[in-house]
C-alpha cells in the first residue's frame, strides 16, 4: 500500500469504528475498508474520482470525494461521497470546510448539479440542509447498519 492509501485506510477505519456513516457498518472487517480505499486510490489515478483532503500535524484529518456521473445523459452532474472527519477532530469545522471545497471544485470543473445520500436517524440530514442542500427524497429502511437494524437513506441535491 502507498502511504496515501494507508492514511486513507486509517482515517476511514477510525470513522467507521466510531459509527460514522461512510459506506460500512461499524463492525466491517478491516480488509473491506482496505479494498475500498485501494479502489478509491485507483479511481483518483484514473481520474474517475477526485479526492480532497484536510491535513493537520498528525496527518490526514478528513476527506471528501467528488465522483462525476458516467454517461452522456449525466455529464452535467457529479456525486459527493465519503465526507469524513477523524473522530477526535469532529465538530471543529473541518467537515463544513471540506463540503465547501468540494462544491467549489465541482463548480470549477463545470458541473451544474450535485447529489449525495446520507444516513437518517441522526444529525446528518440536518447537516446538509443547513448548508444549502435540498432534500429530494427518502428511501425508507434502505440501509441495514446491523443485523435487523435499518436506517432511512436521505437523498440531497444542490444546483451549482
The total of other beta-carbon atoms located within 10 Å of residue 60's CB is 20
Please identify, using beta-carbon distances, which residue of 18 and 75 lies nearer to ligand COA: 18
Contact 8, 43 (CB under 8 A): no
Q: Which three cell numbers stand for residue 8?
A: 486513507
Please identify, using beta-carbon distances, which residue of 23 and 43 lies nearer to ligand COA: 23
3-state secondary structure of 86: coil
What track of x and - describes contact with ligand COA for positions 95 through 134 (by CB under 6 A)? xx---------------------x----xx-xx--x----
Residue 124 CA to its chain's centroid (Å): 12
Q: Which three cell numbers stand for residue 113?
A: 448539479
Q: Looking at residue 21, what DSSP letter applies? A: -
What track of x and - describes contact with ligand COA for positions 9 through 28 (by CB under 6 A)? ------x----xxx------
**Quick one: which of 66, 94, 102, 158 contacts ligand COA (CB under 6 A)?**
94
Q: Which residues bind ligand COA (CB under 6 A)?
A: 15, 20-22, 83-85, 90-96, 118, 123-124, 126-127, 130
Amino acid at each position: 500500500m502507498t502511504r496515501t492509501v494507508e492514511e486513507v485506510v486509517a482515517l476511514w477505519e477510525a470513522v467507521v469504528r466510531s459509527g460514522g456513516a461512510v459506506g460500512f457498518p461499524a463492525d466491517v472487517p478491516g480488509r473491506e475498508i482496505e479494498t475500498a480505499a485501494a479502489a478509491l486510490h485507483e479511481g483518483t489515478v484514473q481520474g474517475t474520482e477526485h479526492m480532497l483532503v484536510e491535513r493537520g500535524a498528525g496527518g490526514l484529518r478528513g476527506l471528501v470525494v467528488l465522483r462525476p456521473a458516467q454517461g452522456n445523459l449525466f455529464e452535467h452532474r457529479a456525486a459527493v461521497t465519503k465526507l469524513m472527519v477523524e473522530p477526535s477532530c469532529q465538530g471543529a469545522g473541518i467537515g463544513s470546510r471540506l463540503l465547501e471545497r468540494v462544491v467549489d471544485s465541482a463548480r470549477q470543473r463545470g458541473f451544474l448539479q450535485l447529489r449525495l445520500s446520507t444516513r437518517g436517524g441522526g444529525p446528518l440530514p440536518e447537516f446538509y440542509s443547513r448548508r444549502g442542500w435540498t432534500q429530494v427524497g427518502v428511501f425508507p429502511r434502505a440501509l441495514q447498519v446491523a443485523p435487523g437494524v435499518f436506517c432511512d437513506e436521505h437523498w440531497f441535491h444542490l444546483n451549482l
